[in-house]
Amino acid sequence: MIAHIRGKLLYKIPNYVVIDCGGVGYELNISVSTYTELRDVGAEAVLHVHTHVREDALQLYGFFEVTEKLLFEKLLTISGIGPKLAITVLSGISAERLVGAIRGGDHATLTKIPGIGKKTAERVVLELKDKLDGLAAGTPGVVAPVSLGAVADDVLSALVNLGYPRAVALKAVESAAKDAGVAGDFERLFRASMSAVR
């Protein structure tokens, strides 16, 4: 699974980009907020990536901020919300406001987002209200995701992409990363985390 990408920005429009990594161009779907954070074509781009696998397609979703990626993955856990709608949600509201609206049960704000009706807004609040720990620090709506370091974050993302619940994956990565011998190596940390999660 691709969890992180760094390369030259070849093409950029508000809903997707193409990034050249070693001569291979990767197309990533992005939100409007990620689009506005990226520099001009030709510059280096660094994105956190969610790899979405279906029977008929493999799609990459890129995020400038890890918080936005975590919210995207949480939205995907809700029945009726697929990756297209999740990216639309993140294009229609900032991560901070989305966290605040979910925590506060603000259905009115959520229903202003294209594609989110009353029932979907109620489901989002019901299912995510108590699952946003780690996305807010002290003050409601202020996003500050916990980071374990680049390698550990990539391993965590890979485990979540494989279908493990984020809380379970986080605990496994934290446990495995205590061993300094594996903490800085993606493959070794990934294997140790997979052992810990079972």
pLDDT of residue 148: 60
Task: Note whether residue 140 is domain-resident.
Answer: no
- The set of residues, in sequence order, having a beta carbon less than 8 Å from that of 53 and lying 6+ positions away, is none
72 and 117 belong to one structural domain: yes
Query: Which residue(s) pair with 95 in the sheet?
Result: none
Is 20's pLDDT higher than 50?
yes
Find the radius of gyration of the CA atoms of the chain.
17
Q: What sign for the dihedral angle of Cα 156, 157, 158, 160? A: positive
What is the rounded average pLDDT of the residues 136-152? Answer: 51
**End-of-domain residue from the set 30, 47, 63:** 63
Q: How many CA atoms lie within 13 A of 33 on its CB side?
A: 20
Instruction: Specify burial of residue 79 (Cβ count, 10 A radius: 0-12, 13-18, 19+).
Output: exposed
12 and 55 belong to one structural domain: yes
pLDDT of residue 45: 93
Task: Note whether residue 90 is domain-resident.
Answer: yes
Q: Which of the 8 DSSP states describes residue 75?
A: H
Question: Over the stretch 103-121, which tens digit does the pLDDT of each residue have?
Answer: 889 999 999 988 899 999 9
Q: What are phi and psi of 43, to 5 degrees?
A: -85, 170
CATH number at residue 94: 1.10.150.20
12 and 45 belong to one structural domain: yes
Task: Note whether residue 85 is domain-resident.
Answer: yes
Task: Note whether residue 76 is domain-resident.
Answer: yes
53 and 73 belong to one structural domain: no
Task: Note whether residue 44 is domain-resident.
Answer: yes
164 and 192 belong to one structural domain: yes
52 and 20 belong to one structural domain: yes
pLDDT of residue 34: 92
What is the rounded average pLDDT of the residues 77-99? Answer: 90
* Mean of the per-residue pLDDT values of the chain: 85
71 and 49 belong to one structural domain: no
Provide the number of structural domains found in the chain. Answer: 3
Task: Note whether residue 173 is domain-resident.
Answer: yes
25 and 54 belong to one structural domain: yes
Query: Tokens for 25?
Result: 């161009």
Task: Note whether residue 145 is domain-resident.
Answer: no
pTM greater than the 0.75 cutoff: no
Is 135's pLDDT higher than 70?
no
59 and 77 belong to one structural domain: no
Task: Note whether residue 189 is domain-resident.
Answer: yes
Between CA 83 and CA 72 the distance in angstroms is 8
- Domain of 117? 66-128
Counting residues of the chain whose pLDDT is more than 70, the rounded percentage is 91
Is 44's pLDDT higher than 80?
yes
